[in-house]
Amino acid sequence: MVFQQEPICALATPSGVGAIGVIRVSGEGTFDVVNKLFRGKDLTKVDSHTVHFGTIRSGNDIIDEVLIAVFKTPTSFTKEDTVEISCHGSDYIIRQILKLLVQNGARLARPGEFTQRAFLNGQFDLVQAEAVADLIAADSAASHRTALNQLRGGFSKKLAFLREDLIHFASMVELELDFGEEDVEFANRDDLRALITNLQTTIAPLIDSFDFGNALKEGIPVAIIGAPNVGKSTLLNALLNEEKAIVTSIAGTTRDVIEDLLYLDGIKFRIIDTAGIRETVDVVESIGIERSKKAMNQADVVVLLFDSPETYAEVEQLAEGLEEGKKVLWVRNKADLTSPNPLLSGEGFISLPSPERRGVGGEVKTKSQLLVEEGFKPMNYKIPPEVLENARNLRQRETEAEQFLWEILRNRKLNNLKFRRQHPVQEGFVLDFYCAEHRLAIELDGGIHENPEQKAYDKLRTDELNKIYGITTLRFKNEQVLDKIDTVLEEIIRLTSPNPLLPGEGFTLLPSPERRGAGGEVEIPISAKTGTGIEDLKKALVAVAVAAKAADDTVVTNLRHYEHLVKTQQALSDVLNGLAIGITGDFLAQDIRLALHHLGEITGQIATDDLLANIFSKFCIGK
């Protein structure tokens, strides 16, 4: 049921002078209110999802020529009768239209009131409502994908499955209480124990994903740590490609932490330049050093920068004090001054491609070149006309998943990989996506591919491509691409990257023992001054960020969700403890109800007025 409330109005576009302003009106009687000032068609008689030209008037005075979009209940954003007035972006015009709306029966909306009404009318749950605000605030591709996934119900569906299973057992335990005198057991304790264990296994990675998810929204903090004068400020400037920090040859120039944002492959990083860590009697420098240590401990990723055996020993000592599991990149600066190695220019590295991956001139061969040398069929063949025609037709009938993935793969957007779509093969096959350099095919499967006969054909086709051309085929379901794109991209990168952090076949990329980090980590040689190796460092940062992500694409980014998941996990632990000591059903029911309560608080199935007021007050007016 839709509950239409009094009409509200607000500017839905950013305030300030612009080409266009959009004013949203929603609620019972919206069309009557707008009709009083709109000269054009009668909005009560037009179809939903239509746009109409006319004028807004105050008496006989024309305020503006406008376009009005009409959305009728229950197919609008709020599920109420809604109008969106597109006018010229003059502050005066917008103020006048809002004034006229209020004079004719609407009131100004509170922050987030449109989204709150959508939630109250069942348009979406509270997680999805909060995702609207996250989507508006998203300033990187990764945070945008996460918010969009939650808006489309990815997180909500997972929680719904958890609640559904738990509600079933809760009802069985509650039923036992009604037959307490008869000593009847409706809820099998072994089944309940297995269910609770499975629920905890599902919830644990969601809880663990919060640190990554929160960093995704705010920016993954990366602290550059090292001794004075090893080039930390120069590295910050090189990463940002601007003179953000003062660079001099005088040790100890940086007295405080300097921070700025860096966007790489759609991921936001907060790069933090710190004061060089050393023994000093300078009071101001000492304060800066303490802040450096604090930044190092709070950062998700620590870049340990050194430029000599002496400064290496210093950062190695710092590394020993880092908490276990801290993500660390060992970076050797000024490598251009000390090493002739062009591929991994750090003295003492064994880092050249193995001989079989080198061409006549010593250049690195592609996987495709190696496969041809091994006897696989080259791809420079003539395609039969009927296969070409089939490929052209398929391009015209792309699925939503194919269109979505192509937007990411086209124009070398992913790791500079060149992909083609609907690529024909001489044998009559048409590959959804194909990367010639790595002989990698990507196939997206719809529901028909669950058919046993189709599965058998798919396997035959995959085997044939591998046998004839050495092509590796990655298969993904359409819903994987639409709902778990990060996992899909991670697998593509893993199979195509020669990055030392993502090893590629045929490469020897190990540093000699004396050039390894405390845990045997591979070092990245760079020259912050000339820019050599900076792209490798950026790729390493992205690789670390991707590796930190939960294997499941569902990422928790909201502190409120995280806190309720932790409380749910605790309540489930109490259920298991109760089962272990054999407590009665009424106590079990109490703990199960508590777990259900916290899951319901996340999605809004259990929500107080104060909670809703707090959540929606953080939205902008007009949303």
pLDDT of 66 above 90:
yes
Q: Please tell me the number of Cα atoms within 13 Å of 187 on its side-chain side.
A: 27
Residue 246 is predicted with a pLDDT of 43
Mean pLDDT over residues 196-203, rounded?
86
Residue 500 neighbours by CB distance under 10 Å? 21
Cα 244 to Cα 236, 273, 304: the distances in Å are 7, 10, 20
Helices 141-151 and 126-137 pack at an angle, to 10 degrees, of 160
Residue 229 is predicted with a pLDDT of 80
The CATH code that applies to domain 219-349+508-548 is: 3.40.50.300
Q: What is the mean pLDDT of the chain?
A: 75
Question: Is residue 550 within a helix (H) or strand (E), and if so which, with residue range?
Answer: none
Round to whole Å and give the CA distance between 126 and 124: 7
Amino acid at 405: L
Mean pLDDT over residues 352-374, rounded?
48
pLDDT of 548 above 70:
no
pLDDT of 10 above 50:
yes
On whether the 8-125 domain is CATH 3.40.50.300, my answer is: no
With contact defined as beta carbons under 8 Å apart, do 23 and 84 qualify? yes
Q: 373-496, which class in CATH?
A: alpha beta
Residue 151 is predicted with a pLDDT of 65
End-to-end CA distance of the chain: 22
- Residues 12-58 have pLDDT tens digits of 888 777 789 999 999 999 999 999 999 999 999 999 999 999 999 99
Residue 551 is predicted with a pLDDT of 42
pLDDT of 320 above 90:
no
Residue 133 is predicted with a pLDDT of 62
Confidence of residue 83 (pLDDT cuts 50, 70, 90): very high
% of the chain at pLDDT higher than 70 = 69
pLDDT of 277 above 80:
no
Cis peptide leading into 74, omega within 30 of 0? Answer: yes
Name the segment(s) of the chain with CATH classification 3.30.1360.120.
Answer: 8-125
Q: What is the 3-state secondary structure (H, E, C) of 207-267?
A: HHHHHHHHHHHHCEEEEEEECCCCCHHHHHHHHHCCCCCCCCCCCCCCCCCEEEEEEECCE
**Rg, Å, the chain Cα set:** 30
Round to whole Å and give the CA distance between 88 and 70: 18
Residue 431 neighbours by CB distance under 10 Å? 22
- Residues 514-545 have pLDDT tens digits of 334 444 455 788 888 888 888 888 888 888 77
Mean pLDDT check: name the lowest of 63-72, 442-451, 541-550. 541-550
- Residues 401-458 have pLDDT tens digits of 888 888 888 877 777 788 888 888 866 778 889 888 888 999 998 877 677 888 888 8
- Residues 217-258 have pLDDT tens digits of 778 888 888 888 888 888 888 888 876 544 444 444 444 567
Residue 542 is predicted with a pLDDT of 83
Residue 40 is predicted with a pLDDT of 92
Query: Which residue in 109, 102, 7 sits closest to 58, CA to CA?
Result: 102
Name the segment(s) of the chain with CATH classification 1.20.120.430.
Answer: 140-213+558-604
Round to whole Å and give the CA distance between 609 and 112: 14
157, two tokens:
């569906």
pLDDT of 352 above 50:
no
pLDDT of 278 above 80:
no
pLDDT of 621 above 90:
no
Confidence of residue 360 (pLDDT cuts 50, 70, 90): very low
Residue 297 is predicted with a pLDDT of 78
- Residues 285-296 have pLDDT tens digits of 455 556 667 777
| CB proximity list for 410: less than 8 A, separation 6 or greater | 419, 421
- Residues 111-126 have pLDDT tens digits of 888 888 888 888 877 7
Residue 289 is predicted with a pLDDT of 57
Residue 209 is predicted with a pLDDT of 74
Q: Identify which has the larger pLDDT, 337 or 200.
A: 200
One CATH from 3.90.1170.50, 1.10.10.10, 1.20.120.430, 1.10.3720.10 for 140-213+558-604: 1.20.120.430
Residue 519 is predicted with a pLDDT of 42
